[in-house]
Structure 1
Amino acid sequence: MTEDFYDLLEIPPDASQDEIKDAYREQVRVYHPDLNDDDRAQAQFTAVKTAYDILGDPVERQAYDRLGHEDYVAKRTSGLPSPDVWQSDDEAADDSSGTELSYSESETASASASTASSAAGSATSGSSTASRSSAGTSSTAGAASASAGTATGTSSAGGTGSGSRTSTAGRTGSGTNGGTGGASGPTGSGSGRASGTSTRSETDAGTGNPLARWWRRQNFSLPLLWLSVLVYAAGLGHFGLENAAALGSLRADLRATGGEPAGLWTLLSESRHGLESPIAFVRGVEFVAPPLEPTLWYGVLAGIVAIALGGLLVVRTVTREDTWGPVTIDETIVVALALTTATTLVGGPLLAGAVLMPLLFGVVVRHTRRGPGWKPSYLYLLPVLAPLAGFAVAAAGYGSLPVDLAVFVILPTVGGLGLPLRATIRKQFGW
């Protein structure tokens, strides 16, 4: 069962406004009354519309995140459909009672109002009101009426739509027992048994796939931050293992200075003490023997990244209205995988981490700042940009051991932990 409005729209809690709009449009294509005349679908559409009205408004979304779903609904909304209508098709299939869901009067009134207003754009005239409730073995009779006119998608024979998956719904009318349903045509109104077929498109990405729905509900921002830091830490560990003898000698010399700052600075500045420069180290890394000549091999690795970027651009062009809109977390994951593969094969995890950290930190900070709530500073990017700056300085011939220690060890390891630790504390304790 859906837990909150994010789950209803099948988006993560840190989704951007564009992602919320896209998710709402996907749901509308499934549950809009013009395309699906099942009572359950109409109630689902009402819930989806309410979720979008709240999450699509940055101010209301901030209040919703602050209060939590239950408190927000209790204090600031009324007439929402029962959460039971949010259950998935699999959960609905397990319901052996065969009865319709029960609603309160306020819930049904809200559902009717929302359905009538959404159908106004495709019907020349018409309004419908319905009320129904079930308790024990009896329920009050409802009535449905519509004025003469033309409306698309509903008839006594069934609704029309497009798609590959169909569902049927039947309603039996009687005096005092059971629900009532009716359909009105050009000659008047009537009550009795009405059945309809509604269609549900399977082309909406992730709609009928439980794995895809699970994926969309995950928040990968924080894991991506930690992953980039861990990759870089692995790179430092790799560097330390390859230069273990030189590091041992440097450690002994540092102890001999007695900890005096002037002596330490002189010791570190006078030579590299046998340590490789980071840029020379990554150039010498060879995890896999190149199967091609170096130029062709590097071209193949660059092609991996180019294919990933080109594929994402094609997908954006086909599926998104705003081709050049903000980068999504899913797109970031694809690019990160391509970059990690290429840079690890070129220079090991040290180079991979130096490239990944600025990319992932930048996207996550930008993604977080676009939503309501916490606005992390772009200053979090400065420490994780230090290794790339260090490679540039070393390539220009200005590297030294103190500079390497600062830009490759101190800044990225200490400063780079700032954002993921801050985000973890906020997530766990709300500080």
Structure 2
Amino acid sequence: MTEDFYDLLEIPPDASQDEIKAAYREQVRVYHPDLNDDDRAQAQFTAVKTAYDILGDPVERQAYDRLGHKDYVAKRTSGLPSPDVWKSNDGDDEETDGTELNYSESETKSAAEATAGSGTASSSASASNRSSTANAGATGSTTGSTATGTASASTTGTAQRTASATGTGTGTAGGSDTGTAGRTTSAAGETAHGTGGSSERDTQTGARSETAGNPVIRWWRRQNLSLPLLWLSLFVYVAGLGHFALANESTLATLWADVRALGADPSGILALLSASRHGLETTVAFVRGVEVVASPLESTLWYAAMAGVVALAVAALLVTRIVRRENPWGAVTIDETIVVALALGVTTTLVGGPLLAGAVLMPLLFGVIVRHTRRLPGWTPSYLYVVPVLAPAAGFVAATVDAASLPVDLAAFVFVPLFGGLALPVRATIRKHFGR
């Protein structure tokens, strides 16, 4: 069962406007009444169009997100079809919990009439083709009046559906050949519309059900992973700091004892830390000495192989974009970000441990997620949130050129990234749970 308009269009709640439009076009190609003569297609198309009208309008989408699906539908919409009319037969028969698309049968009828009225021109042209072929077996005549919707018991219901879709004709079709003629002309009309007949429509429906019917894919598309990714990058980085602390445990314990001996004297502590490194290795030396797994290659070849893994992942995403997207150079999606982050996280961990991985992942994820959030209606976080998590990269550069000291390391690797980097995920968490 469909839970909300995002699930209906099979997109995540943080989808961009381009992604919403692309999802709507994909659904229309399957469910438009001119392309699909299934009884459920009319209702599905009405619901899909309503979902797009709401989510495609930034102002309405913001109101929808603020009110929630159930309250928004109760206050601002009417005439949506019941999902029982068009739900897929994928075994997903769980009961509704009050948040799903669940509307009355009377609303279904009014929605079908409204949609039929808006598409009279297209449907009437298709109906004309059907009636010209079916005249031999049908007695109903198109008089321009409202359909009575009556049909003899011997019909299969095709003539009745045709009359309902066009809003014309008396619908008094008779004869056992009427249903066959109607189906024949329907298939011919679909071919004339460029659908390639029922076999292509079945292919479209099958391709959709292959993903939409998969509960794992449906669950994944409904997830908003931006906030978890921010916390994950910070967790990896903190794990890297812990790794560094464990490798230098005795040296840090001695240094801490010296600092405590000075008491609350900031100038004395600063002078102590600036005097020397007190036996602590630099972060660059530490990263170079990390060996998560034994390298099977010479160091240069090993680094090249890790870079090749990242390049291969990026190349695969580019090929996928070119093949599947109308605009290959559109904004980066969260799914693509996850793929790149996974490749970078694994390779940098193998090369330099979690400290290097966290220092690389934080700027990537913070930057992409800030950009992604700013494209959506509602909160537009500043790019200044990305600045603190760039500090470790600056610290590595300083250590490489022998410009690092203990105060610089503490600022670049501890205080700035931890306290400054917490600002964005904490702010996002507060907004998510308290709406502030």
TM-score range, shorter chain: 0.7 to 0.9
The equivalences for 1:279-298 within 5 A come to 279-298=284-303
Q: Following the alignment from structure 1 to structure 2, what is the Cα–Cα distance between the partners of residues 343 and 377? A: 28
Q: Following the alignment from structure 1 to structure 2, what is the Cα–Cα distance between the partners of residues 293 and 365? A: 39
Residues 48-69 of structure 1: per-residue CA shift (max 9 Å, x gap): 1110111011111111112222
Does residue 384 (structure 1) correspond to residue 389 (structure 2)? The answer is yes
2:261 to 256, 267, 271: 256
* Map of 1:113 onto structure 2: 114
Residues 350 and 85 of structure 1, relative CA distance in 2, 3 Å threshold? farther
Residues 407 and 47 of structure 1, relative CA distance in 2, 3 Å threshold? same
| Equivalenced residues, count | 388
- 1:105 is displaced (CA, Å) by 3.9
Q: Following the alignment from structure 1 to structure 2, what is the Cα–Cα distance between the partners of residues 155 and 233? A: 77
Q: Following the alignment from structure 2 to structure 1, what is the Cα–Cα distance between the partners of residues 58 and 345? A: 35
* Map of 2:160 onto structure 1: 181
2:371 to 366, 373, 393: 366
Q: Which amino acid aligns with 1:400?
A: S
Residues 240 and 108 of structure 1, relative CA distance in 2, 3 Å threshold? same
SS at match of 1:181: helix
Q: Following the alignment from structure 1 to structure 2, what is the Cα–Cα distance between the partners of residues 124 and 182? A: 12
Q: Which amino acid aligns with 1:3?
A: E
The equivalences for 1:186-265 within 5 A come to 189-191=171-173, 194=179, 199=202, 200-204=204-208, 206-265=211-270
Q: Which amino acid aligns with 1:5?
A: F
* Conserved? CA contact 1:33–1:119, under 8 Å: no
Residues 369-408 of structure 1: per-residue CA shift (max 9 Å, x gap): 1111111111110111110111112212211110110010
Q: Following the alignment from structure 2 to structure 1, what is the Cα–Cα distance between the partners of residues 417 and 136? A: 68
Residues 153-203 of structure 1: per-residue CA shift (max 9 Å, x gap): x9999xxxxxxxxxxxxx99579xxx9934469998435785867734333
Residues 172 and 309 of structure 1, relative CA distance in 2, 3 Å threshold? farther
* Conserved? CA contact 1:268–1:401, under 8 Å: yes
* Map of 1:326 onto structure 2: 331
Q: Following the alignment from structure 1 to structure 2, what is the Cα–Cα distance between the partners of residues 172 and 90? A: 33
1:278 to 278, 283, 288: 283
The equivalences for 1:14-53 within 5 A come to 14-53=14-53
Q: Following the alignment from structure 1 to structure 2, what is the Cα–Cα distance between the partners of residues 155 and 20? A: 43
SS at match of 2:211: coil
Instruction: Give the TM-score normalised by structure 2.
Output: 0.81
Give the stretch that moved more between structures: 111-120 or 280-289: 111-120
Q: Following the alignment from structure 1 to structure 2, what is the Cα–Cα distance between the partners of residues 156 and 224? A: 65
* Map of 1:141 onto structure 2: none
Q: Following the alignment from structure 2 to structure 1, what is the Cα–Cα distance between the partners of residues 292 and 103? A: 63
Residues 348 and 102 of structure 1, relative CA distance in 2, 3 Å threshold? closer
Instruction: Give the TM-score normalised by structure 1.
Output: 0.82
* Conserved? CA contact 1:31–1:41, under 8 Å: yes
Residues 363 and 191 of structure 1, relative CA distance in 2, 3 Å threshold? farther
- 1:29 is displaced (CA, Å) by 2.3
* Conserved? CA contact 2:43–2:108, under 8 Å: no
* Conserved? CA contact 2:90–2:213, under 8 Å: no
Residues 92 and 425 of structure 1, relative CA distance in 2, 3 Å threshold? closer
- Determine which structure has the larger helix proportion and give its number: 2
Q: Following the alignment from structure 1 to structure 2, what is the Cα–Cα distance between the partners of residues 80 and 386? A: 52
* Map of 2:400 onto structure 1: 395
SS at match of 1:327: coil
The runs of 5 or more residues in structure 1 that have no matched partner are: 96-100, 127-145, 158-170
* Map of 1:75 onto structure 2: 75
Q: Following the alignment from structure 1 to structure 2, what is the Cα–Cα distance between the partners of residues 422 and 375? A: 12
* Conserved? CA contact 1:43–1:85, under 8 Å: yes
Q: Following the alignment from structure 1 to structure 2, what is the Cα–Cα distance between the partners of residues 320 and 277? A: 46
Residues 115 and 311 of structure 1, relative CA distance in 2, 3 Å threshold? farther
Q: Which amino acid aligns with 1:49?
A: K
2:416 to 392, 411, 415: 411
The runs of 5 or more residues in structure 2 that have no matched partner are: 96-101, 138-148, 184-197
Q: Following the alignment from structure 1 to structure 2, what is the Cα–Cα distance between the partners of residues 110 and 183? A: 17
Q: Following the alignment from structure 1 to structure 2, what is the Cα–Cα distance between the partners of residues 221 and 7? A: 18
Q: Which amino acid aligns with 2:289?
A: G
Q: Following the alignment from structure 1 to structure 2, what is the Cα–Cα distance between the partners of residues 93 and 249? A: 64
SS at match of 1:202: helix
Q: Following the alignment from structure 1 to structure 2, what is the Cα–Cα distance between the partners of residues 93 and 181? A: 30
* Map of 1:130 onto structure 2: none
SS at match of 2:212: coil
Residues 201 and 271 of structure 1, relative CA distance in 2, 3 Å threshold? same
* Map of 1:4 onto structure 2: 4
